[in-house]
Amino acid sequence: MTSFATLPDNGPVRVVLVGAGNMGQHWMRVVEESTNVELVGLVDLDLALAQRVVAEHRLSVTVGGSLTAVADESGAEAVIDVTVPPAHHAVNTEALFAGLPVLCEKPIAPTVSETLSLIAASEISGRLLMTSQSRRYYPALAELRDIVPTLGDIGAVTTEFFKAPHFGGFRDEMAHPLLIDMAIHAFDVARYLLDADPVTVDCRTFNPSWSWYRGDAAATALFEFEGGTRYSYVGSWCSPGLETSWNGNWRVSGSRGTATWDGEREPAVEYVDGAPPSAGRVDPVRAEIAGALDEFVEALRTGVAPSGEVHSNVHSLAMVEAAVLSADRAGTVEIAVVMEDAYRTAIENERRDDVRAVLESWGSASARLGSGREVRSHGSERRPGPTHPIEVSP
């Protein structure tokens, strides 16, 4: 069972924001609008940028290039990590060992092995480490999740995702831009809806002739979940015309009926007996990162693990790595094998003796993490470490 230190409910949580770029400034606006948190510090290696952002927002906060120094000077109680994904492991580790809980932009680390290291660090420090898996936080999605148990045994869940964004930059050069940069959102929502984890995946990718991406921008993936439910994902990032929402189109098929969601409006549901069973009341959920921030604060007050807590979220990252591996091998991949390979890599690469000792004490990833089932709150051959770090769009 995951446990972590809580904070007294004696006013807004004092937070340091790490990262003053575009996404950091977006988070800053959300923090400013919240009554649950107070921004007391801003950290960025580009001090001129951080000072300019503070001036533009007319804030009186501590600014610096060192997280530990800014946190000490400002009296911070928590950290929001909005750095680039390759920096997440270092920033999160520093914060945890400084005694500070962390809400981190996704992905919580670029690889499963680095995430396992962070799990061990969170256990040693006794502090909460949570991913802002922002697409979980939609009122309509919360309603769909509440409907799912009323559908009886779930046979199939499907996602259709078709967009045509012209990003430019690094995404155009990635080997698997759709899988690595975007699919984790849908994969994570599937776990969220089913309250379960996948066992295997069979994935194929391709690149349409008109694609402006170097790597495969289209994919089909079939996951088998615990209990036999199949989750199928079909998507493309170079599909102009009649585009889906950024959340995709969803269908959940059960023994008692079916529910659909277009990713934006309220879900639709039809039951075989024509009379919907009584569903539980859906608590209000603020959208996207504001919802993640609310759940982070609630967890710090109550000690109830949030849905994006790192012990659980690592299973969403594993879905991406397993899908990429399946596509590269053109065969079915067991998720557990990916986790155990990552576990061995984490031990081999760990630089901190205390973190390595905790990792070794688990014996295996499955022994410590189990299935990774969600806490309901509001809301093979051995291979080297993954060659495709996960970088996702907001």
pLDDT at 377 over 80: no
Mean pLDDT in residue range 60-65: 93
Confidence band of 248 (pLDDT split at 50, 70, 90) = very high
Are residues 113 and 183 both part of a single domain?
no
Residue 246 within any structural domain of the chain: yes
Q: Which amino acid is at 110?
A: P
Residue 335 within any structural domain of the chain: no
Residue 296 within any structural domain of the chain: yes
Least confident of 268-282, 287-301, 302-316: 268-282
Mean pLDDT in residue range 342-364: 97
Rounded percentage of the chain residues whose pLDDT exceeds 90: 76
pLDDT at 274 over 80: no
Note down the domain range covering 256.
Answer: 138-271
Mean pLDDT in residue range 235-255: 96
pLDDT at 303 over 90: yes
Give the strands of the sheet with 249-254, arranged side by side. Answer: 268-271, 257-261, 249-254, 154-162, 230-236, 218-225, 198-206, 333-334
Is the model more confident about 308 or about 284?
308
pLDDT at 1 over 60: no
Q: Count of domains in the chain?
A: 2
Residue 190 within any structural domain of the chain: yes
Rounded percentage of the chain residues whose pLDDT exceeds 70: 91
* Whole-angstrom distance, CA of residue 78 vs CA of residue 30: 16
> What is the per-residue pLDDT for 371?
58
Is the model more confident about 338 or about 370?
338
* Whole-angstrom distance, CA of residue 126 vs CA of residue 102: 12
Are residues 94 and 181 both part of a single domain?
no
Are residues 120 and 211 both part of a single domain?
no
Hey, which bits of 149-289 come out as E strands? 154-162, 198-206, 218-225, 230-236, 249-254, 257-261, 268-271
Question: Residue 184 belongs to a domain with what CATH number?
Answer: 3.30.360.10
Mean pLDDT in residue range 285-308: 89
Least confident of 184-188, 271-275, 333-337: 271-275
Are residues 163 and 176 both part of a single domain?
yes
> What is the per-residue pLDDT for 45?
93
Are residues 187 and 128 both part of a single domain?
no
Give 55-79 as a DSSP string: HHTT---EEES-HHHHHHHHT-SEE
Are residues 105 and 151 both part of a single domain?
no
* Whole-angstrom distance, CA of residue 65 vs CA of residue 45: 5
Mean pLDDT in residue range 223-234: 96
> What is the per-residue pLDDT for 278?
60
Mean pLDDT in residue range 364-380: 62
Instruction: Answer yes or no: are the C-beta atoms of 70 and 14 closer than 8 Å.
Output: no
Least confident of 58-72, 274-288, 303-317, 335-349: 274-288
Are residues 54 and 154 both part of a single domain?
no
pTM greater than the 0.85 cutoff: yes
* Whole-angstrom distance, CA of residue 65 vs CA of residue 187: 35
Residue 372 within any structural domain of the chain: no
Instruction: Answer yes or no: are the C-beta atoms of 134 and 186 closer than 8 Å.
Output: no
> What is the per-residue pLDDT for 379?
35
pLDDT at 115 over 90: yes
Are residues 130 and 181 both part of a single domain?
no
Mean pLDDT in residue range 178-203: 94
Distances (CA, A) of 223 to 235, 392, 393: 14, 20, 22
Express each pLDDT in 133-166 by its tens digit.
877 888 899 899 999 999 999 999 999 999 999 9
Residue 48 within any structural domain of the chain: yes
> What is the per-residue pLDDT for 277?
62
Mean pLDDT in residue range 34-60: 93
* Whole-angstrom distance, CA of residue 72 vs CA of residue 162: 46
* Whole-angstrom distance, CA of residue 94 vs CA of residue 90: 6
Are residues 172 and 266 both part of a single domain?
yes
Confidence band of 383 (pLDDT split at 50, 70, 90) = very low
Mean pLDDT in residue range 38-66: 93
> What is the per-residue pLDDT for 81?
97
* Whole-angstrom distance, CA of residue 91 vs CA of residue 81: 7
Are residues 263 and 157 both part of a single domain?
yes
Sign of CA dihedral 301, 304, 307, 310: positive
For the stretch 255-260, contacts whose Cβ atoms lie closer than 8 Å and that sit 24 or more positions apart, written own/partner, are 255/151, 255/152, 255/153, 255/155, 256/150, 256/151, 256/152, 257/150, 257/151, 257/152, 258/151, 259/144, 259/147, 259/148, 259/151
pLDDT at 129 over 80: yes
Residue 226 within any structural domain of the chain: yes
Question: Residue 75 belongs to a domain with what CATH number?
Answer: 3.40.50.720
Are residues 292 and 243 both part of a single domain?
no
* Whole-angstrom distance, CA of residue 298 vs CA of residue 83: 23
pLDDT at 392 over 50: no
Mean pLDDT in residue range 51-79: 94
Contacts of 348 (CB under 8 A, 6+ apart): none
Are residues 263 and 294 both part of a single domain?
no
Residue 69 within any structural domain of the chain: yes
> What is the per-residue pLDDT for 134?
78
* Whole-angstrom distance, CA of residue 70 vs CA of residue 80: 13
